[in-house]
A and B are shown apart, each in its own frame.
Chain A
């Protein structure tokens, strides 16, 4: 894994601590085609190294010797524990193909806007892992989540530690001003919790708060189309009384959940395609932050771009569970 990008997020005084050695594990970059590095010539050395770095990691964690930024982002934990799990998922289980990475800013701020689906927001985590592994400077996508995410124990903890924060303008702008790459899914729960019959139909984009954040900071918007997330947990029903009881927006019923219990949590192995679209610059529109017409038009433009690209990707993938 190459070094953490050296940008100092403004207002993240702990960023000098982002230098940390990550265990030299399987290089994810070259292995997207399912090819795992061949067994090394001296297996003893590799395992020595792995054991040593694993122990060092454990020792640093137990001693509290790591740095967390002001949003609660823990890059060491994310890179060492969370991303390897997601890597298995997106590479081997979903056989994800990625394109358009050249449209992402290399070092500067950018707002990545995607379509949201899949009953639980796995697509956001997969996107963050894919982007980190494939981006030339291994950037972390800072996800913006609904406040429900931060109301739930454990979920909120993981969301913050992996770089997420509450979807509000203050946080979005603070991250963008700090030069971060921010990920947002404006459909929110309308997208994640829509029935399977409405798959790949983008929902309304809310009030376009993400556009305002981009305009105010002059950040380019990079639309991203994600295909495959709709089939992992096809939503065929919603038990509303249970949802009301648990205070969630919906209670999902899928072909496997809740019938198979914990097994229902295993996502179906759909084929995923992720494509980043050309960036939409916003720097020239910074005067128009308060103009609702400009904001709505830009939000619509982003939504249409994603919808069209999703449709094209779907044509390239006739069988959702194909190779």
Chain B
């Protein structure tokens, strides 16, 4: 098939978080894959109708991770795909988010350890694993250790989750473990904190900072996830689109306006966005908007033989979906430029005649 994949197709796949876009997409695609016997979705919540439609071939078990201990061995699962990550506090707040991310992963991995036939574990992680510090190198490779524990809850959760996965790797050396550190998702279909941020017409930024951003197109993320499940790719991989967009540059490409806000004047969590009526940006986003985050993806490209589309291309796809209101467009800028040049020419021509 493709490089790196000594493919032994999985029989029973358990996917967590199928009530969300990413989980539903992964599960649906697995269900359509001929070699796979059973695809089981483990999620206490029901998927919204638009996702439920695609989950026909997926058995949905409405249960929390606390039931996984009995569930996974009884299903005789050989592949576990852990996608149920919460990146921003929702109903229930930070405590519920931590419960799901950290405690949930702990329970799930404890169950996985007691599932004798488990061959593959795929865990969704994030480039937030690298933390945020002024002394950070410009580009993180998979070996880079975070210099400081992140201030944001999501970053701390990611560090905890990867810690549990390391423990699992030690105790179950017979299981192939793939950890995928995704850059923020973007694309015409993605709906995340970042895409909602860029959908506003006027965007708060941190005064005096222009962070380097990197995105991964959600379709490319799905490709990498699928390949990790049906093939063997042990290890930890950064998954991001090559290249960089500065925040100011991304805002300009989207035709939006930036409003710089004083960083020190920002009161703790959510301060960055509160004056703008959006309450969901936490310290994770603030750190990202101060420090930026860029990762090296050469390991992914070498192992998978797959290059995700570039950050700029992924962002272009998001812009083309036309979410939110543009304040200006490229064509208007071109027209304005032409108008000024024409004006000068006309004035000069008039002067030469007179």
Q: Do A and B come from one complex?
A: yes
A151-B139 contact given A55-B340, A72-B246, CB 8 Å threshold = no
Query: Contact: B138 with A64, CB < 8 Å?
Result: no
Query: Contact: B210 with A161, CB < 8 Å?
Result: yes
Task: Identify B244's interface contact among A14, A64, A65, A165, CB under 8 A.
Answer: A14
Kindly list chain A residues whose C-beta atoms are within 8 Å of the C-beta of B333.
Answer: 59, 62-63
Q: Is A85 among interface residues, defined by CB-CB distance under 8 A? A: no
Task: Identify B208's interface contact among A56, A70, A154, CB under 8 A.
Answer: A154
Q: Which of B220-252 contact A (CB under 8 A)?
A: 242-246, 248-252
Kindly list chain B residues whose C-beta atoms are within 8 Å of the C-beta of A157.
Answer: 208-210
One digit per residue, 1 when the CB lies within 8 angstroms of any chain B CB and 0 when it does not, for chain A 229-257 equals 00000000000000000000000000000
- For chain A, which range describes its interface: under 10, 10 to 19, 20 to 34, or 35 or more residues? 35 or more
Alpha-carbon distance between A52 and B242 when the two chains are bound, in angstroms: 32
Task: Identify B330's interface contact among A63, A66, A161, A170, CB under 8 A.
Answer: A63
Task: Identify A64's interface contact among B208, B209, B253, B341, CB under 8 A.
Answer: B253
Q: Is A153 among interface residues, defined by CB-CB distance under 8 A? A: yes
- Of B141, B210, B245, B341, which is in contact with the most chain A CB atoms at under 10 Å from its CB? B210
Kindly provide the distance from the CB of A175 to the nearest chain B CB, expressed in whole angstroms.
Answer: 9
Query: Contact: B138 with A70, CB < 8 Å?
Result: yes
Kindly list chain B residues whose C-beta atoms are within 8 Å of the C-beta of A166.
Answer: 134-138
Kindly provide the distance from the CB of B321 to the nearest chain A CB, expressed in whole angstroms.
Answer: 17
Q: Is A84 among interface residues, defined by CB-CB distance under 8 A? A: no
Q: Is B144 among interface residues, defined by CB-CB distance under 8 A? A: yes
When C-beta atoms are compared, the residue in chain A nearest to B252 turns out to be A64
Determine the main DSSP class of A at the interface with B: helix
A59-B334 contact given A68-B245, A69-B244, A70-B244, CB 8 Å threshold = yes
Task: Identify B212's interface contact among A64, A68, A153, A168, CB under 8 A.
Answer: A68
Kindly provide the distance from the CB of B108 to the nearest chain A CB, expressed in whole angstroms.
Answer: 34
A52-B341 contact given A14-B244, A63-B253, CB 8 Å threshold = yes
Alpha-carbon distance between A52 and B337 when the two chains are bound, in angstroms: 8
- Of B138, B141, B209, B210, which is in contact with the most chain A CB atoms at under 10 Å from its CB? B138
Q: Is A71 among interface residues, defined by CB-CB distance under 8 A? A: yes
Task: Mark B residues whose CB is within 8 Å of A.
Answer: 134-139, 141, 144, 206-210, 212, 242-246, 248-253, 263, 292, 294, 296, 298, 310, 312, 328, 330, 333-334, 336-337, 340-341, 344, 348
Task: Mark A residues whose CB is within 8 Å of B.
Answer: 11, 13-14, 44, 48, 51-52, 55-56, 58-59, 61-72, 74, 147, 150-154, 156-157, 160-161, 165-166, 168, 170-171, 174
